[in-house]
Homo-oligomer: A and B are copies of this chain.
Amino acid sequence: MNAHGGPARPADTVLTREEILRAAEDVLRRFGPAKATVLDVARVLRVSHGSVYRHFPSKTALRETVAERWLERAHAPLAAVVAVDAPAPWRLRQWLSTLFTTKRGKALDDPELFATYLVLVGESSAVTEAHVSGMIRQLTRIISDGVATGDFSVSDVDGSARAVWDATRRFHDPAYASHWSDPDIDAAFESVCALVLSGLSATAG
């Protein structure tokens, strides 16, 4: 830490995108989304704010990139669940449960930081949409595996993946974060999970 509270940075080194992103995360964590300014980021890095604009075309672009990185890091564990060698129903339940647990953990562990990233992600519909497509693609893979093995029986795999995503929104949509500490949230999650899994594996239809 230096006099400005920012991380020491070699004075005779070129400024990198990565350094700026780290400083931006730092400033956002400390000041929150409403107060964090490009000037603050530059101050932490001990450069002029003009230098920041050599690496990012706008404050918005910088914040979008920070949001993107956060989403990537937060959901990294999910890809592993998709790839694991296990029955599709188990993987689906595991995937949903990991998604819920991870997000709830972040929300309850540091609510302020979570709220900050919520704002950032909410600012950029493009980033959100790309991220959601990725999530639904993972669901599609699990479901189509299940159909191949006979564990699942659905007519429209893409539609079902979308339906699973929508049906479980209460447990992954940050809009509901304030309800994630309800005492009966785990029971509610189990009920919806059971309903969804039963719906996919139904022999009737």
Q: Give A contacts to B, CB under 8 Å.
A: 156, 159-160, 162-164, 166-170, 175, 187-188, 190-192, 194-205
**Nearest CB to that of A175 among chain B residues?**
B175
Complex Cα–Cα for A199 and B197 (A): 7
- The interface residues of chain B lying within 8 Å CB-to-CB of A202 are 198-199, 201-204
Please determine whether B203 and A195 come into contact, CB atoms closer than 8 angstroms: no
Complex Cα–Cα for A175 and B195 (A): 23
Please determine whether A194 and B205 come into contact, CB atoms closer than 8 angstroms: yes
Question: Which of B159, B167, B190, B203 is in CB contact (< 8 Å) with A187?
Answer: B159
- The interface residues of chain B lying within 8 Å CB-to-CB of A191 are 156, 159-160, 162-163, 166
**Nearest CB to that of A192 among chain B residues?**
B163
Question: Which of B170, B175, B190, B195 is in CB contact (< 8 Å) with A199?
Answer: B195
Instruction: Knowing A159-B187, A166-B170, A166-B188 are in contact, say whether A195-B204 is a contact too (CB < 8 A).
Output: no
How near does chain B come to A160, taking the closest CB pair, in angstroms? 7
How near does chain B come to A129, taking the closest CB pair, in angstroms? 12
Please determine whether A198 and B204 come into contact, CB atoms closer than 8 angstroms: yes
Please determine whether A166 and B192 come into contact, CB atoms closer than 8 angstroms: yes
